Amino acid sequence: MKLQRIIPFAHQLLQSALTTGDIAVDCTAGNGHDTLFLAKLVEERGHVFGFDIQREAILQTEKRLKEENIANATLFNQGHETIQKAIPETAKGKVKGAIFNLGYLPGGDKHIVTHASSTMEAIEQLLDFMPSEGLIVVVIYHGHPEGQEEKNALMDYLSQLDQKKAHVLLYQFINQANDPPFIIAIEKR
């Protein structure tokens, strides 16, 4: 298949934005896959800040990083809407890439989900911490009622984001069943 699936495309976008020594943010650490990907991408000279409201997710991410001998990540057992308070002020203007995987923790409690209000707040904070061409990748899983609500609110918010502030891209397969996930990429101008 020539068209990239959702997660490989998300990673390709981040690879285009991040390099050795950069700062990145995993806004939904989950099982640690993206935190590990980002940490390897920015290498030892860079740093990754990971956020998740579930302790189980933080423990799983810590385990995954330890198995790979990765030490360039700081994890926060708190919501991504606390980015501005949690990330050191010295990182302001230096966060070049971030990712969200919205919805619920795979294999976890499906009643604990992300919400549009905290996601929008985190996006605003990230844009404040990013230089021009900083990139935010949002993977939206909307195959559940809360996911549909979050998707609708985010689509409304992001479609109205000032084009002088950011470019917003939608990457979506439109002929697949069961509400497949899709990507919104936000590049700061």
123-136 pLDDT per residue, tens: 999 999 999 999 99
**pLDDT digit string (tens) for 63-75?**
999 999 999 999 9
113, part of any domain? yes
Contact 117, 82 (CB under 8 A): no
Contact 6, 34 (CB under 8 A): no
* pLDDT confidence of residue 28: 98
1, part of any domain? no
Closest CA to 154 of 145, 166, 142, 165: 142
68, part of any domain? yes
- Mean pLDDT of all residues belonging to the chain: 96
Contact 128, 92 (CB under 8 A): yes
87, part of any domain? yes
Domain total in the chain = 1
Distance of alpha carbon 62 from the chain centroid: 17
* pLDDT confidence of residue 1: 67
* pLDDT confidence of residue 2: 86
**pLDDT digit string (tens) for 89-118?**
999 999 999 999 999 888 888 889 999 999
| Average pLDDT of the segment spanning 147-158 | 96
Q: Which residue range is the domain that position 110 belongs to?
A: 6-188
Query: Interhelix angle for 33-42 vs 6-17, to 10°?
Result: 30
User: CATH number for the domain including 102?
Assistant: 3.40.50.150
